Amino acid sequence: MRPARALIDPDALRHNFSRVRSYAPLASVMAVVKADGYGHGMVWTATTLRDADAFGVASAEDGIVLRDAGIQKQICLLEGFFHPDELPTLVRHRLSSVVHHESQLWDLEHAGKIDPIDVWVKVDTGMHRLGFPPETIPAVIRRLKVCMAAGRVRVMSHFPTADNRFDSVTPDQIRLLDELTQNLNVDRSLANSAGIVNWPSSHFEWVRPGIMLYGATPMIGMSAAVLDLKPVMTLASEIIAINQRRKGDAIGYGGDWVCPEDMPVGVVAIGYGDGYPRHAPPGTPVLVNGLRVPLIGRVSMDMITVDLRELPDAKVGDPAVLWGAGLPVEEIAALSGSISYELLCCVTARVPRIESTV
Ligand SMILES: Cc1ncc(COP(=O)(O)O)c(C=O)c1O
For 145-157, write each residue's pLDDT tens digit.
999 999 999 999 9
What is the Cα–Cα distance from 326 to 242, expressed in whole angstroms?
23
Catalytic annotation on 34? yes
- Residues 145, 247, 253, 315: which is the catalytic one? 253
- Residues 23, 34, 38, 341: which is the catalytic one? 34
pLDDT of residue 223: 96
Which residues share a beta bridge with 117? 150
**Closest ligand 1 atom, residue 78 Cα:** 1
Pocket of ligand 1 contains residue 131 by CB under 6 Å: no
Catalytic annotation on 230? no
Pocket of ligand 1 contains residue 215 by CB under 6 Å: no
**CA triplet 44, 31, 102: central angle to 5 degrees?**
120
For 308-325, write each residue's pLDDT tens digit.
999 999 999 999 999 999
- Res 185 pLDDT > 80: yes
For 30-78, write each residue's pLDDT tens digit.
999 999 999 999 999 999 999 999 999 999 999 999 999 999 999 999 9
Pocket of ligand 1 contains residue 218 by CB under 6 Å: yes
pLDDT of residue 357: 85
The greatest distance separating any two alpha carbons of the chain, rounded to the nearest whole angstrom, comes to 77
Distance 131 CA to ligand 1 centre (A): 15
Pocket test of ligand 1: the residue of 19, 32, 75 to mutate, having most ligand atoms within 8 Å of its CB, is 32
Pocket test of ligand 1: the residue of 28, 208, 329, 342 to mutate, having most ligand atoms within 8 Å of its CB, is 208
Share of the chain above pLDDT 90, in %: 99
- Cβ atoms 262, 247 nearer than 8 A: yes
Task: Give start and end residues of each alpha helix (H) in the chain.
Answer: 10-23, 34-38, 42-48, 60-68, 87-92, 102-109, 137-145, 169-180, 193-198, 329-335, 340-345
The structure's pTM equals: 0.97
Pocket of ligand 1 contains residue 48 by CB under 6 Å: no
Using pLDDT thresholds of 50, 70 and 90, give the confidence band for residue 358.
low
Distance 345 CA to ligand 1 centre (A): 13
- Cβ atoms 295, 283 nearer than 8 A: yes
